[in-house]
Structure 1
Amino acid sequence: MASRHLLNPLAPLGVPSPSALDGIPQELERDLRAYGALLVQQAGIMLKASQVVMATAQVLFQRFWFVTSLKHFGIRDVGMGALFLASKLEEAPLRIRDIVNCFSYLDALVAYCSSPPYPPASTFEAYAPMDYFATEFYDRKDAMVIAEMQILKRLAFQTQCGLPYGHLVNYLQVLELAGENDLVRRCWGFCNDLLQTAAPALYPQGTLALASIYLATRLSTPPIALPLEPVPWWTHFDTTEDEVVDVAEMLLRLYRQWGSDPRDAGAEDEGVKRDSVWKRAGRIPVTKAGVRELLAGDGSGDADRTPR
């Protein structure tokens, strides 16, 4: 167990996050975590970054919010910094100006596109980049570089990020489920979506993979039974039933909150799922000023509908 923790430093369970101590409601924190991770993922897709880069960036992003509050940093800036840092850690560096332009495009999309679905990534090719000598560009670039430095500083340079994908492949083979293509695709989708929750910073990557298998088998039609004899299946993978169920519940709560259907996870066409996600995203502040304004208002989310 200790070696797994060294590969993927984890936050203690049952301890309130800095955001919770600052009075940020759980639902708002889940929204901010999910939306920031979603921005990282979409920017990575548009920049043709590898899945490893995007997943590493999301793990760093989730981990960061266990050492600082969402009142002190904006999710957009930290998302940019995490993606920039992850691209260097995985030796596939992305250009600063490309990251800034991608996040600027996504901001504009959420602010002005009132009727999703989200357009294909190729639409970004037609996006007019901001003036590289403009104050806005320099402000965003500086914010990204500062966020990268803050991630390194506050995480004490603990940037090792274990990912669940290798465990998922091995576990599916052990359970003799690797040949079920639809099931494998859904498991992969659940692993991706779990990166939008706090789970990667709380549980070992193997537990995330097991929770994905648990959800996928339960949601299959008909459900696929996992072996409970001579011993329950999860005991073979150095975890407990409570841990698997807790991680699964974290993802299901996010789906319910965002109006998504868990059966869409890993589907080739996730248009319906993405539709509901971007509708809710327009109500979520991406800056620390927006978060503070939202908390000072009535809490309905109407105080900050557009990213600023």
Structure 2
Amino acid sequence: MPESGALKRKIDYLRRNHFLYWLMAPALVLTILFKYVPMYGVIIAFKDFSYSKGILGSEWAGFEHFEKFLNAPNFELIFMNTLKLSVYGLLLGFPVPILLALMLNQLRKAAVKKNIQLMLYAPNFISVVVIVGMIFIFLSPTGPINKIVTLMAGQPIAFMSDPEYFRSIYILSGIWQGAGWASIIYVAALAGVDPELHNAATIDGANLLQRIRHIDLPAIRPVMAIVFILAAGGIMAIGFEKAYLMQTAMNLPASEILPTYVYKVGLQSGNYSYSAAIGLFNSVINVILLILVNFIVKKLNEGEGLY
């Protein structure tokens, strides 16, 4: 009887709120169609794919393509380039949106705050192609940056040709473009902090830094944990477009990463099985990192994690 009563309550709940499920249905259908259905194509990584035979008809290759990639002469270079670009970008870029949100939260004049937010958010809406074009113009041998360098050092620096500068340019330009937009979630979290807490802390003699440390940061700590887990889980998923557009023949030792390599061996060379194996290898690494980082954050954050 208790089980039938619980089942009846569930049916009644579904009947009363069925319109909510109808609202969710389009998103669910689209997710299944475009995220889960194409997953069957993963088996290309385990086959010698042939156009004439199709995916299911192609000969089985097992882990041959994975072994080929792991034993490739350039595997270590490509893997380390991807890892360094991701880790440095995460370590340098993760705190910036938090700092921006904390500074914006201290502004009391609404008009000034809106204007500053507009300037911070604007770079996010600039196309990656335009961003890279700006980088090449500003850092060209005759560009404004090199004019200053020439005045100080006597000769220009080949920023876009020297592998030594590629990671710094890629990461710093990415922070400039995305930090303002990424701060929105922290600004929203800080908006929920009760002003009375700050007033009480001020009366007790707390200065600005103490109020930020003991009131603002604890308020956004759960959000910080989730954002960090998601960022760390996608640590190998670097955007292809920007890295490929910034590549030159001279900076390949630092700019060749997994996404650009997959593009070259897959679409340009037509080796679809090999490129699929590399992409699957990259995805597996991301999943492992996501689970590992979520486990660590939950241990350090009193059980608060992504799941």
**Do Structure 1 and Structure 2 share a fold, with TM-score over 0.5?**
no
Select the structure of larger CA radius of gyration: 2
Higher helix share: 2
Q: So what's the TM-score if we normalise by structure 1?
A: 0.22
